[in-house]
Amino acid sequence: MLRFLKSLVKGPGVGLPGFSKGADLCLSMASHLKDIMATVILSGSVLNVGSALHYKGMTILPRGSDPEHIKMTKDGFADIVDALNNPLEEPNRRSLIPVEKAESCFLFLVANEAAKLLQAHGKKKPKIICYPETGHCIVPPYLPVCLVSFHTLVGKLVIWGGEVRVHSMAQIDAWKQLQAFFHKHLGND
C-alpha cells in the first residue's frame, strides 16, 4: 500500500491522516514503515484498539475494556468513556504503539499521551491542538456533527459528545490545520 501511495506523489514520502481506529493504524504504520513523512492523528489513541495488530512477527494487543463500566444515558445510548482500561497500567501497556520508533512528523488533534511518549524517547515535541467542548468525531468540515452512532465493537448506539456549534467550528479549523501541516512537511505540490 505504501508503494502505491508513493507512486501518487512527487516528494520523498507520504502523509497519513487517520481518525479514531484509523488513527492508531496510521500511528502503527508511521512507527514501522519508512517514507511516511507526516502523520495527522484526529481523535486517535497511542494504543491499539479493537483487535490485535501483526507485523513482521510482532503483535500489538488490543487495549482492554470493561463492559461493566459502560453507562447508559436516559435516551438509551452507551457512554463508553469509563469502559476503557487505563493505558498506562499493565496489561494495557502491551497495547501501546511504539510511536517513538517513527521518523514522521506528527500533528495530534486531541492526543496528549502520544506526545509524552515521543518526548520521553528524545523525539521532537509534536504539534498538538486541543478543541475543548468537542466530541470524538472530528471529520472534514461541513459534514454533519456525529453525536451518536452505532459502534460495532460495543454493539450499541454510542454517544460521542461535544457541543454542536463548537464542534462544527473545530472541524473547520482542524481541516485547515491538517492541510497546512501536510503542505509544510510534504511540500506545496
CATH number of the domain residue 175 falls in: 3.40.50.1820
For 46-93, write each residue's pLDDT tens digit.
889 888 999 999 999 988 888 899 999 999 999 998 888 887 788 788
Q: What is the pLDDT of residues 165-181, one digit of tens each?
A: 999 999 999 999 999 99
Residue 90 pLDDT: 82
Domain region containing 137 = 2-186
- Answer yes or no: are the C-beta atoms of 185 and 38 closer than 8 Å: yes
Q: How far is the C-alpha of 8 from the C-alpha of 29, rounded, in Å?
A: 18
Beta-strand pair 14-19/36-42: parallel
User: How many domains does the structure of the chain reveal?
Assistant: 1
Rounded CA-CA distance 85/12 in Å is 39
Reading the block at residue 73, the C-alpha cell is 444515558
Tens of pLDDT, residues 20-37: 899 999 999 999 998 899
- Please report the pLDDT score of residue 105 as a whole number: 93
Mean pLDDT of the chain: 88
